[in-house]
Structure 1
């Protein structure tokens, strides 16, 4: 992990959705366990499913059934999982503790914020309103562009929609693909340890910052913005 001495003050903060802003794992786990119960199988423990939540259908089906996209039967399981999930998007999903205060703090600083997720728009569009993210300056889903993360295209499109250069944005996520995409887009990257984080250790992702809580992120943003303001006054 690298830590810049003085990063450029952002004009916008962009966030991954699942595992970064929102704790959606309970409803994702319920959707895949409905598939298991329909087949007479016991539920996969939540502790096994939660770390895979940022990987969507591929991660959930892999954890619950031990198969991947190239295996026979995967497509039927994937489609059933997605239908189950769409029918119950926000039963137990919600924002992580500290996220509402984080977003309020960004607004107080005059900073824009947006969502860039690999979740398909059929789920993202209703979900952001259901869990309190309707004020996002932009929402980029996994099928908005021809490429999803770790490709930088979704992040570059988010910056374009906000009317900003990529280097004026920071990107926050809980998966290696988030950090790869942010780095490729030329943005400061921040790994959030409060998220799902998958099978790899966030320290190995080479993010610019690794933060433990949403409060720590807001404190960092405030410090950088305040320092930039002091620099302008001293100039």
Structure 2
């Protein structure tokens, strides 16, 4: 068991896009390259940003609303390929994230990433940030047969780390993050600095804790307490 100070979790697991990383600018560059290749006008960041946590298909739908579902589905491989070229060129950590991760590490906690982004892209992000030695576990959207909101990826992360799910806390900016944590038996933190649609209300997700900025998670008492 971790020797983390009281309050900090033994293991903190994080969503990636919209939680640790402001990757919307990379996604915008990707979408606008695809639009330009088809002679279309660019999409504005504000119009795309709220869809980032929903994945490639949602961003393609926002960028090409006139296309039918089949046409948009056929564009997914292209989106992922272009995004890999743009990955890390424009994105930045949200303010306060690095300090929060350092606080966890100093406390004796381990942290990792559970994302619906394909694992190969998530590993590229981690490498680009120099986190290979800091990130204790990485589970992508295609690592397991299921992805969030199914609990399997969170349970797989706990399994790889050799801890019980209830010793972990999962942090994310989307309702499916909270749903996955609840199904996995993990306490959850919903963050409001990420990406969400206008009608989405984080208070309604029933997370154990709601955080409005990363600095709040510098304090051990801000974290929900697990049962481990």
Contact 1:106 1:112 in 2 (8 A): yes
TM-score when normalising by structure 2: 0.90
* Aligned CA distance change for structure 1 residues 112 and 33 (closer, same or farther; 3 Å): same
Q: Deviations over 1:28-55 (max 9, x none)?
A: 1110111111111110111010111111
The answer for the alignment partner of 2:173 in structure 1 is 174
Equivalent pairs counted in the alignment come to 218
Q: CA RMSD in A?
A: 2.0
Q: Deviations over 1:159-205 (max 9, x none)?
A: 11111100000000001110000010001111011111334111111
Where structure 2 has 5 or more consecutive residues not aligned to the other structure, the ranges are 1-5
Instruction: Tell me the CA shift for residue 67 of structure 1.
Output: 6.0
Instruction: Tell me the CA shift for residue 223 of structure 1.
Output: 2.2
Contact 1:93 1:131 in 2 (8 A): no
The answer for the alignment partner of 1:88 in structure 2 is 86
Where structure 1 has 5 or more consecutive residues not aligned to the other structure, the ranges are 1-6, 229-235
Contact 1:13 1:112 in 2 (8 A): yes
Misfit runs of 4+, over 3 Å: none
C-alpha distance in structure 2 between counterparts of 1:50 and 1:107, whole Å:
30
The answer for the alignment partner of 1:50 in structure 2 is 49
Match of 1:118 among 92, 116, 119: 116
Other structure's SS at 1:85 match? helix
Contact 1:35 1:77 in 2 (8 A): no
Contact 1:190 1:209 in 2 (8 A): yes
Instruction: Tell me the CA shift for residue 132 of structure 1.
Output: 3.6
Instruction: Tell me the CA shift for residue 75 of structure 1.
Output: 2.6
Which range moves more in the overlay, 109-118 or 55-64? 55-64
Instruction: Tell me the CA shift for residue 112 of structure 1.
Output: 0.6
The answer for the alignment partner of 1:98 in structure 2 is 96
Computing the radius of gyration from Cα coordinates, the structure with the larger value is 1
